[in-house]
Structure 1
């Protein structure tokens, strides 16, 4: 089994999404001690944003194109993907968006057909470990402004992922009490996360 662990928060060790993603990976390792893990920190090693030169395969960006192919291979070879998702300005970080742009590739993770698009990544499980400063859950005033989890659900569904878990710590910027209760709820959700990687 192969697990790809992605972190995207700019806050380093203070990041709640990093704490949650690390805990989710540890939970999976408990049941699957032989699992092979690749950790990719999108802040420590940024993924360059796509440009017209990429599409034209300009000689100036050949190293970057090779890096993009490595990112795609990591994703394709993973059975489970755990992503630490920090919410910035109502959506995902630009670092995570740059990574998404390298794995959502026609002919690799999806294809166009006469009946519409077809996802090619049906064999994967994605676990999102989301950290949000405000309260975005159903019924809260910011619910309609949450564009991180919603976007990632759409993108992974587009490429065929149907096995999806979302762990959320929210209210982290409201008060210390909200921060602690949000983290506690998220860690409790991780503690009961199905650790199986082979279903």
Structure 2
């Protein structure tokens, strides 16, 4: 049985395009996979705190050497990693903020990219441990960041997300993008995103 972890990040809540598109995709996808289960995490309503020095010490300390302080500091990270690893697929929705991702998403990523949990350090370098999984990125952008556009070169949102999740082993990543939502491209881009949703809902 397929289990999806659905993560929303936009603080706009019901006015969010990324949330709306991700929700529409899941509704259509579940028609093809009624037996699937979904765990939902809303990082805008329930943000994870920024990491601190104690957390960093815990991250690089073997579990057998944890003090009560370190064990407490890493507890939420363990919970988030366990939840992440329990999923077979991921639907992650995110708006573009200042050419990249919202801070709440970056903080979450810091919590789940963990040595010995989601990646390993080997003699041959880093090795992702989260393999044989799929991810769908649902991304909304106010301006035109389409390939070949004037702002394409400063799109650090999608390259970063594909890089960091690829680092932990997730390389099968699809995208649904809606660009130009604050300019004249809006209606055309939303229509294109909805068309992609129909295709992926039947094949993903």
Q: TM-score, normalised by structure 1?
A: 0.92
Q: Distance in 1 between matches of 2:140 and 2:104?
A: 16
Is this contact kept in 2: 1:131–1:168, CA < 8 A? yes
Question: Where do 1:47-126 residues align within 5 Å?
Answer: 47-57=48-58, 65-126=74-135
Q: Which residue of 1 aligns with 2:64?
A: none
Segments of 5+ residues of structure 1 without an aligned counterpart are none
Is this contact kept in 2: 1:82–1:126, CA < 8 A? yes
Is this contact kept in 2: 1:32–1:196, CA < 8 A? no
Q: Which residue of 1 aligns with 2:166?
A: 157
Q: Which residue of 1 aligns with 2:62?
A: none
Q: RMSD over aligned Cα, in angstroms?
A: 1.7
Provide the secondary structure at the position in 2 that maps to 1:56: helix
Q: Distance in 2 between matches of 1:170 and 1:60?
A: 45
Cα shift at 1:65: 2.8
Q: Distance in 1 between matches of 2:72 and 2:45?
A: 18
Q: Distance in 1 between matches of 2:42 and 2:156?
A: 22
Change (3 A) 1:195 1:74: farther
Aligned residues: 195
Q: TM-score, normalised by structure 2?
A: 0.89
* Residues 68-77 or 187-196, more deviating: 187-196
Pairing partner for 2:140 from 123, 131, 144? 131
Cα shift at 1:55: 2.2
Change (3 A) 1:61 1:185: farther
Cα shift at 1:140: 0.5
Q: Which residue of 1 aligns with 2:190?
A: 183
Q: Deviations over 1:87-129 (max 9, x none)?
A: 0000000001111111111111111111111111112100000
Change (3 A) 1:80 1:194: same
Is this contact kept in 1: 2:144–2:180, CA < 8 A? yes
* Residues 84-93 or 154-163, more deviating: 154-163
Segments of 5+ residues of structure 2 without an aligned counterpart are 59-66
